Amino acid sequence: MTTATRQAAAGLDVETLLRMYRQMAAIRLFEERVSDLYTRALMPGLAHLYIGEEAVAVGICEALRPDDYLTSTHRGHGHCLAKGAAPHLMFAELLGKEAGYCKGKGGSMHIADPATGNLGANAIVGGGAGIATGAAFSSKWLGTGRVAVCFFGEGALGQGVLYETMNLAQLWKLPVIYACENNLYNEYTHCSETTAGDMLARPAALGIAAERVDGQDVREVHAAASAIVERARRGEGPGFLLLDTYRYRGHHVGDVAREYYRPKQEEQRWMSERDPIALHGDWLVSEGLADRAALERIQSEVASEMDAAVEFAVKAPYPDPSTVDEDVYA
Amino acid sequence: MPETATALRELTFGEAIREALAEELRRDPRVVLLGEDVAEAGTAFKVLKGLVEEFGKDRVIDTPISEPGFTGLAVGAAMTGMRPVVDIMFGDFMALIMDQVANQAAKVHYMSGGKWKVPLVIRTTMGATRRSAAQHSQSLHAWPSHIPGLKVVVPSTPYDAKGLLKAAIRDDNPVVFFEDKISYAKVKGPVPAGDYTVPIGVADVKRLGRDITLVATSSMVQVALGAATMLEEVGISAEVVDPRTMWPLDETTLVESVRKTSRAMVVDEGYYRYGVTGEIASVIAENAFYDLDGPVRRLGARHVPVPFSPVLEDATVPTERDVFELARKMCNR
Ligand SMILES: Cc1ncc(C[n+]2csc(CCOP(=O)(O)OP(=O)(O)O)c2C)c(N)n1
């Protein structure tokens, strides 16, 4: 299939195309506010921003049903938002407030929300592999037709549990998609120094349907995801997407001096030539599906939404210290 | 202090550890460092900053994010002529490497009838209150301490950290070395510029006292010392004993102190249940029962996963005030 026919087959109506633009803008503006809150010492802990990678989460999550599952990572805000999380409850969690998704117990790296199928972000690299594969196992066992997406960075290719669970998934034809976000760096080390051989040869060795996708092209991500998700839903087995992408900022907000591990020009090149939001916006305009004013309107609507969400979270109360002992057991 | 140790400088806990590693890398070509982002990045905590520049990428080796893999590799390398020092970024990742540590490294010497040796050091971290939530905040030093065949070191001062790390690297057994993350930059102290070691298995009395013994480990040594100062103001003289190593455990020093003071409290940042405080309290009870004025008391991390929110997290770790109040109660003052 050509790119165009596959995108057509994925059923991209104008409404979906515009929603994808809005969702990407929402993630970007969410993360910019996270950076700001963090820098102003209003947000405790660590903040790993998803800026630059928005098309991956949005393209994939737009191909999912609301009741489909996902597991996320330390860089997880984008996945959670794309799957339908409410920004004000996310910000509240990031600030450790009672109103947050996890009552302040999880924080940035552990957003979980059963209502949107979010099994939880995970601060152990590769930590979602077992959980996502298990959700696919239960989907098959219970006959719910749900698909599970396991998001992880290319750094998780170092973790043995990933290969163990991929083997199980293929043996038992489980509806799970392994979404490998290759942003080129495991923390401060280039992936070429940590990854032998060909990334796609790994799922291929297990006979898992696998594809390399331009992770900056939201329509292409969506088309590839739609095909592989539906295949999994039909019971034809797991899939693996290798998504080429880039994180614009540091590994976390405090990682400012980065020249020792990646050149400024490389960052500039991705930002100016491969920005997922700009690329999709330009395409919408060139296809006559939106004009610049419409895109700007979306941006400013999302911005006010995010400002209101931040305000909610900043004003929200902290949990009562006595709640520390709650939720240890079910 | 040993004669070879010369000029004293003030170093942070992190600097003392770097200095120990640099000196051992210089002294013994079989020593190599392995771990994630240990080279140019100098680890996530920047503790190893500068080592790759001096020793090169053959000695300071960046690994993939494959903790069980490179730990297992280090066990094999240690058995066959090298002295690897493995860096496990967060103590929580002990959970990933436990098979290599507990079933391989710890067992090799014994199972081979003493024929193979595993001169391996696993450096890892511990300690909460960094708002890092449940998977990056645990103090799991009780885990390896439970396994025969492993030595476990928990230094609290820069002096001890340097001397104990050098001793660990020279030891022919697998040693798990826990470093408190908060102490890296916060705890400063005098450290000799030259070579010295601190023997593994010898406790240190950090403060002399008469009325109560506070046995404290790692991060909790500073807390106990702070509490001791507060207790002084209300007329209670507290002795602070730092075991420095979980195993071997210097029972003699602990028991002698308690015999003198007749009261004992154990403070540790590991989980309260089934952990370090329980073990040390029972050692004291078994050996100094008739010298005690009351039961040995314990303070440890609350028995919950470490929460993210500052207001919750702060309720999980013993504080100076907690130690102070409990000690007062124990002394009826
Ligand atoms: C098992 C484990 N080892 C190490 C870490 C520390 N760590 C956190 S993020 C990270 C790099 C992850 O790189 P990648 O998976 O590519 O994701 P990215 O940060 O690029 O999104 C590391 C090593 C961890 N959280 N879990």
Model ipTM value: 0.94
Identify whether the C-beta of residue A327 lies closer than 8 Å to the C-beta of residue A106.
no
Distance CA A181, CA B183 (A): 35
Residue tagged 């490294």 (tokens): B105
Is B255 domain-assigned?
Answer: yes
Chain B positions in Cβ-Cβ contact with residue A319 (cut-off 8 Å): 309, 311-312
Are residues B47 and B117 both part of a single domain?
yes
Query: Nearest-CA residue of chain A relative to B93?
Result: A124
Residue B105 lies in a domain: yes
Q: Are A324 and B316 in contact (CB under 8 A)?
A: yes
Chain B nearest-CA distance from A60, in A, is: 25
Largest CA distance in chain B: 59
Do B143 and B290 sit in the same domain of this protein? Answer: no
Nearest residue to A149 (alpha-carbon basis) of A169, A172, A171, A167: A169
Tell me the pLDDT tens digit for each residue of B14-37: 999 999 999 999 999 999 999 999
Half-sphere exposure of B312 (CA within 13 A, CB side): 33
User: Contact A20/A222 with Cβ under 8 angstroms?
Assistant: yes
Q: Is residue A328 part of a domain?
A: no
The confidence score (pLDDT) of residue A6 equals 72
Q: How many domains does chain A have?
A: 1
Residues B111 and B257 in one domain: no
CB contact under 8 A, A188 and B40: yes
Q: Within a domain: residue A169?
A: yes
Mean of pLDDT over chain B: 97
Residue closest by Cα to atom 25 of ligand 1: A124
User: How far apart are the two ends of chain A, measured CA to CA in Å?
Assistant: 49
Domains of chain B: total: 2
Instruction: Please give the Cα distance from A214 to B308 (Å, whole number).
Output: 35
Contact between residue B261 and residue B284 where contact means Cβ atoms under 8 Å apart: no
Per-residue pLDDT at B4: 55
Asked whether residue A321 is assigned to any structural domain, the reply reads: no
Q: Which of B127, B161, B192 is the last residue of a domain?
A: B192
Ligand 1 pocket test, candidate residues B43, B45, B65, B66, most atoms within 8 A of CB? B65
- Please indicate whether, in this complex, the C-beta atoms of B309 and A107 are within 8 angstroms of each other: yes
Sheet holding B83-88, edge to edge: B60-62, B31-35, B83-88, B121-126, B175-180, B151-153, B245-247
Helix (H) or strand (E) holding B28: none
| Peptide bond before residue B174 is cis, with ω within 30 degrees of 0 | no
Residue B208 lies in a domain: yes
Q: Are residues B106 and B220 in the same domain?
A: no
Q: How confident is the model at residue B161 (pLDDT cuts 50, 70, 90)?
A: very high
Distance from CA of B153 to the nearest CA of A (A): 25
| Parallel, antiparallel or unpaired: strands B121-126 and A118-121 | unpaired
pLDDT tier, B3 (very low <50, low <70, confident <90, very high otherwise): very low
The pLDDT score that the predictor gives to residue A2 is: 65
SS3 of A242-310: the string is EEECCCCCCCCCCCCCCCCCCCHHHHHHHHHHCCHHHHHHHHHHHCCCCCHHHHHHHHHHHHHHHHHHH
Among B68, B304, B307, whose Cβ lies nearest the Cβ of A160? B68
Question: Of all protein residues, whose CA lies closest to atom 10 belonging to ligand 1?
Answer: A187
Strand order in the sheet with A118-121: A118-121, A69-72, A148-153, A176-182, A239-244, A209-214
- Pairing mode, strands B151-153 and B245-247: antiparallel
Of the residues B162, B192, B222, the one at which a domain ends = B192
What dihedral do alpha carbons B77, B80, B81, B86 form, nearest 10°? 20
- CA dihedral B180→B97→A247→A217, nearest 10 degrees, is -160
- Of all helices (H) and strands (E), which one includes residue B94? helix B94-98
Q: Which one of B98, B308, B316 would you mutate to disrupt binding with A, by most A Cβ within 10 Å of its Cβ? A: B308
Q: How confident is the model at residue B6 (pLDDT cuts 50, 70, 90)?
A: confident
Q: How do strand A176-182 and strand A148-153 relate by DSSP bridges?
A: parallel
> Rounded mean pLDDT of B252-259?
98
Residues B23 and B74 grouped into a single domain: yes
Kindly report the CATH number assigned to the domain that includes residue A71.
3.40.50.970
Q: Any residues with Cβ below 6 Å from ligand 1, and which?
A: A 74-75, 123-125, 152-156, 183, 185-187, 251; B 36, 65, 67, 89, 93, 96
pLDDT at B1: 47
Which parts of chain A sit beneath pLDDT 70? 1-5, 7-10
Residue A302 pLDDT: 98
Indicate whether B178 and B52 sit together in one domain.
yes
Domain end marker among B166, B192, B218 = B192
B235: tokens are 């007329």
CATH of the domain at B181: 3.40.50.970
Residue B140 in any domain: the answer is yes
Q: Is B136 a catalytic residue?
A: yes
Residue B82 belongs to domain spanning: 9-192
Beta carbons of B69 and A158 less than 8 Å apart: yes
Q: Residue B4: inside a domain, yes or no?
A: no
Let me know if residue A330 belongs to a domain: no
Residue nearest to atom 21 of ligand 1 (CA): A153
Q: Which residue has the tokens 């599906």?
A: A289
Using the atom order of ligand 1, give the atom closest to the CA of residue A183.
20
- Is A322 part of any domain? no
Q: Is residue B310 a part of any domain in this protein?
A: yes
CA distance B19 to A218: 49
Cα separation of B254 and B258, whole Å? 6
3-state secondary structure chain A: CCHHHHHHHCCCCHHHHHHHHHHHHHHHHHHHHHHHHHHCCCCCCCCCCCCCCHHHHHHHHCCCCCCCEEEECCCCHHHHHHCCCCHHHHHHHHCCCCCCCCCCCCCHHHCCEHHHCEEEECCCCCCHHHHHHHHHHHHHHHCCCCCEEEEEEHHHHHCHHHHHHHHHHHHCCCCEEEEEEECCEECCEEHHHCCCCCCCHHHHHCCCEEEEEECCCHHHHHHHHHHHHHHHHCCCCCEEEEEECCCCCCCCCCCCCCCCCCCHHHHHHHHHHCCHHHHHHHHHHHCCCCCHHHHHHHHHHHHHHHHHHHHHHHHCCCCCHHHHHCCCCC
Minimum distance, in Å, between the CA of residue A260 and any CA atom of chain B: 7
Q: In whole angstroms, give the CA distance from residue A87 to residue B206.
A: 50
Residues of B in contact with A261 (CB under 8 A): 40-41
Rounded-to-integer distance, Cα A121 and Cα B210, Å: 51
B146 shares its domain with B18: yes
Which residue among B136, B141, B146, B303 is the active-site one? B136
A59 Cα: distance to centroid of ligand 1 (angstroms): 23
Encode pLDDT of B84-123 as tens digits: 999 999 999 999 999 999 999 999 999 999 999 999 999 9
Q: Is residue B197 part of a domain?
A: no
Mean pLDDT for the stretch of residues B262-271: 98
Of the residues B37, B96, B312, the best mutation for testing chain A's interface (the one with the most A CB atoms within 10 Å of its CB) is B312
pLDDT, tens only, A232-270: 999 999 999 999 999 999 999 999 999 999 999 999 999
Rg (CA), chain A: 19
State whether residue B79 is helix, strand or coil: helix
Q: At how many degrees (to 10) do helices A276-286 and A14-39 cross? A: 150
CA distance B268 to B278: 10
Task: Work out the number of other CB atoms within 10 angstroms of the CB of residue A4.
Answer: 10
Range(s) of the domain holding residue A299: 3-315
Asked if residue B1 is part of any domain, the answer here is no
CA dihedral A143, A146, A152, A157 (to 10 degrees): 30
Closest CA–CA distance from residue B39 to any residue of chain A (Å): 9
Q: pTM of the predicted model, to two decimals?
A: 0.96
